[in-house]
Amino acid sequence: MERPLPGPRAKPHLAVPVALDRDGGRPLVAQLVEALREAVLSGLLPAGERLPSTRTLAQDLAVSRTVTAEAYTRLEAEGLLASRSGSGTYVARLNRAARRTGTAPAVPAPAAPAPAQAPRPAFALRTGETGPVHEGSDGWARAWRATARTAAPTRYQEAAGLPDLRAAIADHLARTRGLVCAPDDIVVTSGTTQSMDLVLRTLLRAGDTVGCEDPGHPVVRSLIRVHGLEAAPVPVDDDGARVDVLAGRARAPRLMHVTPSHQFPLGVRMGVGRRLDLVMWAREHRSWIVEDDYDSEYRYNGPPLPSLAGLDRERVIYLGTLSKVLTPALRCGYLVAPGGLPRRIAELKDIVDGPLSWPVQHTVLRMLTTGALERRVRRTRLHYARARTVLREALEPVADLVTPTGLEAGLHAVLLLADGIDGARVARRAAELGVEVAPLSAFRHGPSPTEGLVVGYGGLTPDDLAEAAALLVRAIAEHRS
Amino acid sequence: MERPLPGPRAKPHLAVPVALDRDGGRPLVAQLVEALREAVLSGLLPAGERLPSTRTLAQDLAVSRTVTAEAYTRLEAEGLLASRSGSGTYVARLNRAARRTGTAPAVPAPAAPAPAQAPRPAFALRTGETGPVHEGSDGWARAWRATARTAAPTRYQEAAGLPDLRAAIADHLARTRGLVCAPDDIVVTSGTTQSMDLVLRTLLRAGDTVGCEDPGHPVVRSLIRVHGLEAAPVPVDDDGARVDVLAGRARAPRLMHVTPSHQFPLGVRMGVGRRLDLVMWAREHRSWIVEDDYDSEYRYNGPPLPSLAGLDRERVIYLGTLSKVLTPALRCGYLVAPGGLPRRIAELKDIVDGPLSWPVQHTVLRMLTTGALERRVRRTRLHYARARTVLREALEPVADLVTPTGLEAGLHAVLLLADGIDGARVARRAAELGVEVAPLSAFRHGPSPTEGLVVGYGGLTPDDLAEAAALLVRAIAEHRS
């Protein structure tokens, strides 16, 4: 597709770039509405910001004024823009109705004008979504402002992460997870996913077998696949992963991935006896355990058990993350490994990636050392505890049809459905009513009936959660035989 | 090594954590000095900040007061701390002498008390180092502050990168590199290293051959090695990589990595004829070209040639980076690829890493759309142009012994030495005089005499560069036969 090189351009009046595809056949108004909506909902166009006039924007984008005027009209109807007569068009302060539609997921431009779209769910009860990072005391914003005024380093930093950050993480782990390690045992990464990828790259060879919980996190299965490894699914009961099944395998997997604090997705906690069995298995076979401690800050019925890594520093590789405490969009985590492993992993990371972004490291360090992170954990723990109470109470009308599991911790739970109830149908009905939930079958290794629903409640306010839960309960109740 | 779990601790008075290793045998004073020096030079302890008294710090760290007092004394002697009688100890405003020692590289703790250390170079003429990011107009700090006050997303973002950022990059490439592409042709990464790693993971299989320039970037060689690939070194002359040698190979490499704007490290530019030959080679063998455009913003003798990717969008994968324009510590870059490749790469990135940190993306987008990035490029281009003039003039006394190459662009140059001069000896003598340079042999694939020195001048002020260059010239001149 030939496009002439753009000539020198006048300074655009809109603070965010809008790229319009004039050849794909998709209406310009729809494209412009989508681009402006995304900019408003993501905060790139902040509340109160004045937009250019329809005439100016039309000139800037080289479209007709009817296009820009229609786009503004539609977004005013959605409540995202507001016009003040004689004064122009502004980004509205988002009310609940507008926020309910959420951030529109990226929709690829169709080749022909789009048909009327299916109603988009109003509530997404997704896992992996947290509460807003900006809140009352605003430790987040303060920490970023401190980073903004600190002279950034002008050279490559060490791949394992800033020494002070690793020291602060070691201190944090000793105090909160009973895991005593040195700063040099730690490698700062972009999160659990990258930590797992580096571990697999460093320790395993194509054809090796990796044990993983079933049901379990789809990311682990995908990683196993892209690495050319074999997956050994290990079932989960209400005491955690079935270590007896793992130990009964003819050939021991080289590595076993577990989520012992709050099994993902079922939410059960691995009991102490099970933990000891697992460690003994690893020692006997000189296999590795990867302890994925993704949401251990959030337990509502008492303190968490000490980490597995605290039981055995030699065979356990511990993965921590800031994704739940702060936001999954930050991309910051760390791993703790024994012996020479951190150095090997850091050397590999240096070759294939480099260190984590310095501003991100500096800000997280700031939040750790000023206590802002700890304050956020306490505040959000209260918030999520209230949310899960809202959810549990909302489920009472269908207590005969639904058994929730995993509500004692974390930001999600699983609703196990009574026999005869088809979870896939319930999920579809819920989507029609405006609530998005994931079927439990999506988290299993093989095909299976959908006997449960996975419900993330971290991203909604208590009021929205109550409304979403009521709609979900309605979808479930309709299947009462 | 057994350590008791720390008990509940009183709030430390030092704003940064200090982790002391009491078992490794390294003196506590030296450890504390190093930790405080690093904190001051990295900005974690900002100028003017008051430090705890020697007594308080001794209590906090559970060391004797002589340790903290001695540490403060040494750092005052270095000019990093200053005491005001009756008022305490403060972080000094760094003067040039203190800044000259730079940030101390991480030194692993030796098992026994350290012997007197070799004098640390005062000037490091390293590649990969840029000028300070905080400057007059402070677009950097403003952009981070804007990010600080913007509501961060609370869910996982798309792995390819924020759509608005990709659109802004596409716009930037069209205007500055003659490369016209769509936002969906772009994947935002943590930099050139990660871009290359993802490309190799997506396109190549173990045993495939990768062509790379010789001399060339050590990172490329390391990546080839960790991927289990074969390296095919391709020599470089003053017109760039020897495409005739590449084309003469019995089996065509699957991929050829080139730095056509400013060959790394020799600094030559690939001529137009050579570029066309390379593209024809790639088309004939359906091989890939990776165009590593790492410093094309900085050319001092006229505008850069259009990118290779602008010549052929089908066979060329373009790698861009913010490391030189902003700082290598930011870890932000991007790749542009044809056809379905960006989608495949983004899918892999989603599985093994995730998207780049949202705050980093948001800030870079902000700098792009406000014009701050362009202003920085213009300002730093003047600065680096002056620096390379300083270097060139300083070299005049040894014009008979040294031929500089690559001074027309970028942040580094190579000083080719006259026959009979042992570059390794010159480099060692330069280190004794306080100037760190890299021998050219470190960038070659096989062993070779060190017939040149690689000099990075991006990280020094013009005054410091003049001083460093004078010392380097002295080291060279001493070898005049």
Residue B79 confidence (pLDDT): 65
Residue B198 confidence (pLDDT): 98
Query: Hey, which residues does B123 pair with through a beta bridge?
Result: B435
Residue B85 confidence (pLDDT): 57
Closest CB from B174, B219, B330 relative to A6: B174
* Positive/negative CA dihedral, B199, B200, B205, B207: positive
Q: Is B148 on the interface with A (CB under 8 A)?
A: yes
* Positive/negative CA dihedral, B367, B369, B371, B374: positive
* Positive/negative CA dihedral, A164, A165, A170, A176: positive
pLDDT tens digit string along B87-120?
578 787 654 333 444 433 333 333 444 444 555 5
Three-state secondary structure readout of B99-156: HHCCCCCCCCCCCCCCCCCCCCCCEECCCCCCCCCCCCCCHHHHHHHHHHHCCCCCCC
Q: Which stretches of B323-374 are assigned E, i.e. beta strand?
A: 333-336
Distance from CA of A384 to the nearest CA of B (A): 14
The count of C-alpha atoms lying within 13 angstroms of the C-alpha of A274, restricted to the half-sphere facing its C-beta, is 21
pLDDT-derived band at B51, boundaries 50, 70, 90: confident
pLDDT-derived band at A416, boundaries 50, 70, 90: very high
| pLDDT > 90: percent of chain A | 58
Nearest to A43 by CA among B340, B152, B364: B152
Residue B121 confidence (pLDDT): 62
Q: What is the ipTM of this complex?
A: 0.76
Residue A270 confidence (pLDDT): 96
Residues 26-45 of A with CB under 8 A from B: 35, 38-39, 42-44
Q: Which residue's entry shows tokens 């006896």? A: A273
Query: Rounded distance, CA A129 to CA A169, Å?
Result: 23
Q: Which stretches of A151-203 are assigned E, i.e. beta strand?
A: 186-189
Within 8 A of B134 by CB-CB distance, chain A residues are: 151-152
Asked if residue B64 has pLDDT above 80, the reply is no
Most confident of A23-27, A159-163, A417-421, B138-142: A159-163
Within 8 A of A11 by CB-CB distance, chain B residues are: 371
Q: Is A107 on the interface with B (CB under 8 A)?
A: no
Please state the φ and ψ torsions of residue A233, each to the nearest 5 degrees. -65, 135
pTM of the model: 0.77
* Positive/negative CA dihedral, B56, B57, B59, B63: negative
Interface contact flag, B193 A351, Cβ < 8 Å: yes
The pairing of strands B438-439 and B452-456 is: antiparallel
Mean pLDDT of all residues in A309-320: 94
Mutation pick from A2, A13, A36, A42 vs chain B, by most beta carbons of B within 10 Å, is A42
| pLDDT > 70: percent of chain A | 87
Residue A25 confidence (pLDDT): 60
Query: Hey, which residues does A212 pair with through a beta bridge?
Result: A233, A257
Asked if residue A223 has pLDDT above 60, the reply is yes
Asked if residue A316 has pLDDT above 80, the reply is yes
Query: Rounded distance, CA A438 to CA A297, Å?
Result: 24
- Alpha helices by DSSP H, B227-295: 243-247, 272-285
Residue A183 buriedness (CB in 10 A; 0-12 / 13-18 / 19+): buried
The angle that helices A65-77 and A54-61 make with each other, rounded to 10 degrees, is 120
Q: Looking at A216-220, B242-246, B332-336, B377-381, which range is the least confident one? A: B377-381
The four Cα atoms A463, A464, A468, A471 give a dihedral, to 10 degrees, of 60
Residues 276-295 of A with CB under 8 A from B: none
Residue A133 confidence (pLDDT): 74
B421-428, long-range: CB < 8 A, 24+ apart: B421/B451, B421/B476, B421/B479, B422/B449, B422/B450, B422/B479, B423/B449, B423/B450, B423/B451, B423/B452, B423/B453, B424/B450, B425/B479, B426/B453, B426/B475, B426/B476, B426/B479, B427/B453
Asked if residue B248 has pLDDT above 80, the reply is yes
Distance from CA of B351 to the nearest CA of A (A): 6
The angle that helices B462-477 and B372-394 make with each other, rounded to 10 degrees, is 30
Asked if residue A99 has pLDDT above 90, the reply is no
Is it true that the peptide bond before A183 is cis, omega within 30 degrees of 0? no
Interface contact flag, A38 B164, Cβ < 8 Å: yes
Residue A3 confidence (pLDDT): 38
Interface contact flag, B155 A191, Cβ < 8 Å: no
**Residue A438, SS3?**
strand
Query: Rounded distance, CA B453 to CA A245, Å?
Result: 61
Query: Rounded distance, CA A279 to CA A296, Å?
Result: 20
**In the predicted model, what is the mean pLDDT of chain A?**
86
Query: Rounded distance, CA A381 to CA A376, Å?
Result: 8
pLDDT tens digit string along A440-454?
988 999 887 769 999
The count of C-alpha atoms lying within 13 angstroms of the C-alpha of A323, restricted to the half-sphere facing its C-beta, is 29
Q: Looking at A63-77, B154-168, B346-360, B371-385, which range is the least confident one? A: A63-77
pLDDT-derived band at A299, boundaries 50, 70, 90: confident
pLDDT tens digit string along A53-87?
887 787 778 787 777 877 887 777 666 787 665 55
pLDDT-derived band at A110, boundaries 50, 70, 90: very low
Asked if residue A115 has pLDDT above 60, the reply is no
Distance from CA of B427 to the nearest CA of A (A): 21
pLDDT tens digit string along B4-40?
343 343 344 776 777 777 766 667 777 888 788 777 7
pLDDT tens digit string along B160-215?
999 999 999 999 999 998 899 999 999 999 999 999 999 999 999 999 999 999 99
Closest CB from A3, A148, A156 relative to B329: A156
